[in-house]
Amino acid sequence: MAPVIYLVRHAESAHNVSKDFSHRDPPLTPLGQKQASALTSSFPGHETIAVVLASPLTRTLETTLAAFGPSLGKEFVGELGITGGARLVLDPDLQERSAEPCDTGSDRAALEKVFPNLDFSVLGEGWYAKEGRYTADDTAVSARAEAVRQKLFDLVKELEESGSGDRQNLVVVTHGVFMKFLSGDKTIDLPKAGWRAYTVAKAYTVAKEDGKAILRPTE
């Protein structure tokens, strides 16, 4: 059976309630924490997760740890995790589309204080700046989404070739608008802490040229 990729939307955050988009990198609300924690029992197949990819914004990190922390390897999250658990990959390409403060991440030093067990070495200086690769326009965001789909394709291939046993599925914790670009479905609007299952494949041209990775719903 082909590995499944679960796209997960972060749980309710402070700016979702206050509508104060000037609040930089807001955390989850108490309800959001409950929504994320509920995924520890309602999400299917924690024991099948090989890799969790997460946007490095506070609300996505909090969702990831509350929902999937007990499924992650101790080398990634300390005593919260388990021996032989899933790999955690922090990926700035998964950050939200807009340049509003609420969709702008925190600097590495601030994140390290809030999440002392996580390794933020992947984040460069000013990683959160909405410029270049992370410019808040459709062209740049589409390119980021394409890059993430290719990473997922490569991870799936790696897992299939390694014979990873029961752990072969992937989880991607990201944001509502970016998810539209990533899934290729502009109508997708998952509830907070909602998820949807996909497989990844390559779409080839008539000339059989190397195709682009696409996500296909499993339903």
Give the CATH number for residue 119. Answer: 3.40.50.1240
pLDDT of residue 162: 82
- Summarised one tens digit per residue, pLDDT across range 68-101 is 999 999 999 999 999 999 999 999 999 999 999 9
Strand residues in the chain grouped as ranges (E): 5-9, 49-54, 87-90, 169-174, 195-203, 212-217
Residue 186: count other Cβ atoms within 10 Å of its Cβ.
9
pLDDT of residue 205: 53
- Cβ atoms of 77 and 1 closer than 8 Å: no
Domain of residue 170 covers 5-217
Quote the pTM value: 0.95
Q: Hey, CA dihedral for 201, 204, 209, 212, is it positive or negative?
A: negative
pLDDT of residue 203: 73
Question: In the chain, which residues have pLDDT < 70?
Answer: 164, 204-210
Place of tokens 């494949």: 201
pLDDT of residue 204: 59
Structural domains of the chain, count: 1
pLDDT of residue 165: 73
- Cβ atoms of 105 and 94 closer than 8 Å: no
pLDDT of residue 164: 63
pLDDT of residue 160: 86
pLDDT of residue 209: 56
